[in-house]
Amino acid sequence: MLVAAPSPEQVDRALGLIVDRQAAPVTACAYLGTTPDGIRAELDDIEIPWRETLRVAVDDSADVVGAVLVDWDEETGRSWVHGPWTRDEAMWDEVADALLDAAVTLTPATVQDHEVSAAPEHERLAELATSRGWIASEVNYVYVARSADGWPDAPATVRPAVDGDLEAVTVIHEEAFPGTYATARRLLSDPERVTLVLTELTELADSGRSTGGAGWVLGYASAEIQADGDGYLDFIALSPGARGRGLGAGLLSAIGRAVLAASPNGCVNLTVKESNAPAVRLYERFGYAREAELVGYRSRPTD
Ligand SMILES: CC(C)(COP(=O)(O)OP(=O)(O)OC[C@H]1O[C@@H](n2cnc3c(N)ncnc32)[C@H](O)[C@@H]1OP(=O)(O)O)[C@@H](O)C(=O)NCCC(=O)NCCS
């Protein structure tokens, strides 16, 4: 079976295959969503142009029977493989391994930490990844909120992050999310993102870090509007000394309200590890509903 870069006509057929396979958790990958328009928007939003990294498996009658593509970030040395997708289970057994190889081979030498992600139901992907020694994450829950009903008012101590917050946010970000896909610098410098900080001018000063008169930064939250129109809150954390005192609620309310207002689909999505009891408790108290489960498989996890 040939795995190669596609002809223009094969790109369209591969897209049809991807849309079809994304419809069910047992064959979908985590990153692209499930609706045809949403998938196309997410693909077009991938940093490395997806048509350049798309690789297809083609059978004897020139049909596209498998596809894969990959995105990467040299700053963090990580890649995210989208797919592989195959026409059916028999074809998975035949070409999934070669498709995954084709994707990984495209990444620069500085990128050594590769990841695929899907629902736990996608057992074939789990087998493929673990057969390579890739390490499964714990289950992550996907939560969504569509209304701010019952949320507390956003407190006056939450404000948009400014350049002077970078050092304080970096410390909290790296402690809470070591080895994650985006640095604090990237969060703060991305004009497409909403990044807020929770400050405290007097109390709890020993728990946070000064930002030169603008208040002690006790925590931050950062979110974006995805290409498919959903809001995505990917980071929220307090400095360790500020946790467990109910302060996260104000920050969650403020970022959630900002994202709901900006999301064309009027929703906030987030993922959380199933073992993260305080965060799960907080999200459920806010009325976030659990919509799906995901597992990531990484070749060299750094966290
Ligand atoms: C998640 C986080 C932002 C929550 O903020 P917080 O101010 O510490 O949260 P709270 O003090 O309001 O606690 C949240 C809830 O968890 C409960 N809780 C705290 N520790 C708990 C534990 N070990 N087990 C079960 N529940 C726990 C609290 O009682 C509270 O429940 P309640 O609302 O019924 O009283 C904060 O803990 C944090 O920064 N954690 C590290 C980073 C992180 O995990 N971010 C989320 C990634 S998805």
> How is domain 2-136 classified at the architecture level of CATH?
3-Layer(aba) Sandwich (3.40)
Q: If pLDDT is split at 50, 70 and 90, which confidence band does 113 have?
A: very high
Question: Under CATH, which number does the domain 144-293 receive?
Answer: 3.40.630.30
Helix (H) or strand (E) holding 40: helix 36-45
pLDDT value at position 210?
47
Map 128-160 to HEC letters. Answer: HHHHCCCEECCCEEEEEECCCCCCCCCCCCEEE
Tell me the two tokens of residue 276.
């993260």
Helix axis angle, 248-262 to 277-285, nearest 10°: 60
Q: Is the CB of 67 under 6 A from ligand 1?
A: no
Cα(229)–Cα(218) distance, integer angstroms: 30
Pairing of strands 268-273, 140-145: antiparallel
How many Å lie between the centroid of ligand 1 and the Cα of residue 136? 24
For ligand 1, the distance from its centroid to the CA atom of residue 281, given in whole angstroms, is: 7
- Top mutation candidate among 174, 204, 281, 285 for ligand 1, by most atoms within 8 Å of CB: 281
Say if ligand 1 is within 6 A of residue 246 CB: yes
Side-chain half-sphere CA neighbours of 259 within 13 A: 32
What's the distance, Cα to Cα, between the start and end of the chain in Å?
A: 36
Minimum-distance ligand 1 atom for the alpha carbon of 240: 39
Does the pTM of the predicted model rise above 0.85? yes
Let me know: does 70 contact 107? Beta carbons within 8 Å: yes
pLDDT over 90, % of the chain: 89
| pLDDT tens-digit map of 116-143 | 999 999 999 999 999 999 999 999 999 9
CB 254 within 8 A of CB 186: no
Instruction: Please tell me if the CB atom of residue 247 comes closer than 6 angstroms to any atom of ligand 1.
Output: yes
Residues 205-227 pLDDT 10s: 455 554 444 579 999 999 999 99
Residue 183 has pLDDT above 70, yes or no: yes
Domain spans of the chain, in order of start: 2-136, 144-293
Identical fold at 2-136 and 144-293? yes
Atom of ligand 1 nearest to the CA of 239: 39
Q: Token pair 């970022």 is at which residue? A: 255
Distances (CA, A) of 107 to 77, 111, 151: 10, 6, 43
237 lines ligand 1 (CB under 6 A): yes
CA nearest 58: which of 81, 30, 91?
91
57-to-5, 99, 128, 166, 290 alpha-carbon distances in Å:
9, 7, 17, 45, 35
**CB distance 279 to ligand 1 below 6 Å:** yes
Q: How far is the CA of 52 from the centre of ligand 1 (A)?
A: 42
